[in-house]
């Protein structure tokens, strides 16, 4: 082996090892715990839907991916969430399936995904009931 081939081989091996270490660390990184995240705003369901309807999409970005608490009345239940009147669609966090009844007043904490123009709903995911 000449010197340049050996250097190239060492460089390729070192780069491969570096890529493998970075991939391993990223793959095993812990998931974000949304249940422990700080709430950045408290809303009533009707106020939240009204705010999204009254403001431009450019302003919606200020609340996207923020943790919020929303108080409202449950109008419908699904297998993975609930609908708060007048239009806040809630998806429960995995393992946090809430025991709620239609017509009950609840406060949920979740990540605000944004506004669905087609259905006229504000969407929350990773939601949990708050006491």
Q: What is the DSSP string of 8-38?
A: HHHHHHHHHHHHHHHHHHHHTPPPP-GGGSP
Adjacent-strand bridge partners of 68:
41, 110
Query: How many residues are present in the chain?
Result: 131
| Distance of alpha carbon 46 from alpha carbon 85, whole angstroms | 7
Is 73:101 a contact under the CB 8 Å cutoff? no
Mean pLDDT of the chain: 90
Is 130:97 a contact under the CB 8 Å cutoff? no
Q: Per residue in 4-38, pLDDT tens?
A: 888 899 999 999 999 999 999 999 988 788 878 89
Task: Extract the runs of DSSP E, i.e. beta strands, from 41-104.
Answer: 41-44, 67-77, 81-84, 88-92
Residue 35 has a pLDDT of 77
Residue 2 has a pLDDT of 62
Task: Tell whether domain 34-129 is in CATH 2.40.50.140.
Answer: yes
Q: Per residue in 67-100, pLDDT tens?
A: 999 999 999 998 889 999 999 999 998 766 678 8
Residue 96 has a pLDDT of 67
| Residue 39: pLDDT band with limits 50, 70, 90 | very high
């Amino acid at each position: 082996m000449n010197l340049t081939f050996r250097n190239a081989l060492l460089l390729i091996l070192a780069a491969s090892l570096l890529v493998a270490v970075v991939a391993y660390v990223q793959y095993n990184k812990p998931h974000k715990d949304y249940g422990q995240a700080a709430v950045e705003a408290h809303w009533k369901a009707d106020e939240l839907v009204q705010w999204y309807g009254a403001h431009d999409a450019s302003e919606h970005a200020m609340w996207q991916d923020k943790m919020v608490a929303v108080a409202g009345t449950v109008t419908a239940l699904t297998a993975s969430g609930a609908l708060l009147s007048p239009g806040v669609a809630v998806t429960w966090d995995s393992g946090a399936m809430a025991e709620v009844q239609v017509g009950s007043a609840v406060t949920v904490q979740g990540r605000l995904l944004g506004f669905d123009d087609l259905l006229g709903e504000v969407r929350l995911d990773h939601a949990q009931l708050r006491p």
